[in-house]
Structure 1
Amino acid sequence: MVSAAGAEERDLRPDELPDGLVVADDRGLVTCFNAEAVRLTGIAAATAIGAPIDRALPLEDPEGRRWWRLTDPYGGLATRSGQPERILRLPDGRTVLVTARYVRVRPAGPVSRLVVALRGTAARRRSERTEAELVATVAHELRSPLTSVKGFTATLLDKWDRFTDDQKRLMLQTVDSDADRVTRLITELLDVSRIESGRLELRREPVRLDESVRRHVAGLTGGGLPADRFELRLADGLPWLWADPGKLDQVLGNLLENALRHGGGTVTITVRALPPTDDRPEGLETTVSDEGAGIPEDVMHRVFTRFWRGGARGGTGLGLYIVKGIVEAHGGTVSVGRSARGGARFRFTLPAGLPAFLA
């Protein structure tokens, strides 16, 4: 008996496939050239079908060599099963990602069917640009603090006796601050790697989120920011969270830094309990909002992506991406919108309560 899913797969037509599909028979004549292959190559199916594969799909490698002559699918070693994915070029300059599979009736027998899969190169090139952007971002963010560290340490070593104790202290404090910037960048990059690979580790313990908020704000005001820059709206009797306190500190720190750097006016932090519903258990909702210009609606969908920057005030563009990864790893959700006072509003929710063995 064939399942419904199996029947759907059996009845799937080549033109319904998301990738280009080209099939040649045991003589190397094209028997299938689907709609996506037509779109990717610009070659009409009527022209390709019935023609030898090397003429129907005249591929070249980056050095301009004819790919079919190099790979020789119908000759060569009979133990070969195909060709791995690589970027090849067509005569009109188009590039495609090509994978080939050699189908044999029996092991080490002659090729009875050649199956070629084609994909566009746009996604690959976007990935390559993203990696290049990552390298450029890291280099830029590292260069500034390391230049400062090198400059101050070289000056101190060369002219130590010429400076007063206060001058030395100021320079060493700058070195210490720049070293913290480098450490933070490395931590962000490691977090991004762990989030993308699904290896983000959570060291859970009971956490009071309202206390974490108060501690963050106290640290910022202790560092010189005026107390009236912040407004706390923390509900009474908030439930405990079973969460990683260090990771939640990252979330709060990134959201507060974002509000202070890109926003204006008063930064409002609200924490309230969410009663359980049929769709979700009891939770905690936290919002961080400012009175700045806000985020245009047409780019709101991009704020949690890597390297998104809301302005020209620096930053790696990784903070909000990390916020989303940490919140979702805890089983929560995060969103962005416009605050009642016109600025940006970030809201994240987390499931509340402690495990049974601690309750």
Structure 2
Amino acid sequence: DVARLNQGIFTIHPQPINMVDLVQEVVPAFNGPDTPIHVHAPQEMVLLADPNRLRQVLENLLANAVEYAPRHIPIRVQLDKVRRTDGPWMLLTVSNAGPGLPPERCVQLLRPFVAGVTSTGLGLGLYLANRIAAAHYGTLTVDSPRGQGVQVTLALPLEDEDLFIGRRNA
């Protein structure tokens, strides 16, 4: 996927998707006795997006949260709808109570080949997740409030299909 991104042939196939359903499908694969995951979400949150790409993002965020979370301390997955000046947005936040990161490190994690100190990965997961967010006209942010672990938030616009297609073709 990163190679396709760099070559400009990365594609998304938007369709209506209930993000709550996707979260409920993906979370059990990461939930365990050492790393319980608590989901806080409304009954439904439908947006126009590529379900396979959003699955990639969610899997990456959960894998990172599990890898860096202290044992037996729950990981939190929160889905919210917020109104911004440009309309309604979906916020998906995955957070853990790990050791946290300095602010400069939070920004670096969205760049390619930047991994956590104890990571065995290549450091491409959050970079790819960030690019997927951008392809959906959204954002991915990494925050680490002092002493409160790490929070990664995917923000995507909640909009109708005509507007999305118009943006994509612009």
Bin of the TM-score, shorter chain as denominator length: 0.7 to 0.9
Q: Do the aligned residues in 1 keep the contact of 2:75 with 2:96 (CA within 8 Å)?
A: yes
**Distance (Å, rounded) in 2 between the aligned partners of 1:282 and 1:254:** 25
Aligned match of 1:235? 42
Offset of 1:247 from its aligned partner?
Answer: 0.3
Runs of 4+ deviating beyond 6 Å? none
TM-score in terms of structure 1 length: 0.42
Report which of the two structures shows the higher radius of gyration computed on alpha carbons. 1
Aligned length: 161
**Distance (Å, rounded) in 2 between the aligned partners of 1:312 and 1:219:** 22
Mapping of 1:1-359 within 5 angstroms? 191-221=1-31, 225-226=32-33, 229-238=36-45, 240-264=46-70, 265-277=73-85, 280-339=86-145, 342-356=148-162
TM-score in terms of structure 2 length: 0.86
**Distance (Å, rounded) in 2 between the aligned partners of 1:297 and 1:340:** 9
Offset of 1:248 from its aligned partner?
Answer: 0.2
5+ residue gaps, structure 2, are 163-170
5+ residue gaps, structure 1, are 1-190
**1:255–1:215 Cα change, 3 Å:** same
Higher relative contact order (CA 8 A, sep 6+): 2
Q: Do the aligned residues in 1 keep the contact of 2:57 with 2:129 (CA within 8 Å)?
A: yes
Q: Do the aligned residues in 2 keep the contact of 1:333 with 1:349 (CA within 8 Å)?
A: yes
Letter in 2 for 1:275: R
Q: Do the aligned residues in 2 keep the contact of 1:335 with 1:348 (CA within 8 Å)?
A: yes
Q: What is the identity percentage for the equivalent residue pairs of Structure 1 and Structure 2?
A: 28
Offset of 1:306 from its aligned partner?
Answer: 0.9
**Distance (Å, rounded) in 1 between the aligned partners of 2:146 and 2:43:** 23
Richer in strand (by share)? 2
Q: Do the aligned residues in 1 keep the contact of 2:20 with 2:43 (CA within 8 Å)?
A: no
Letter in 2 for 1:292: G
SS of match in other structure, 2:79: strand
**1:292–1:285 Cα change, 3 Å:** same
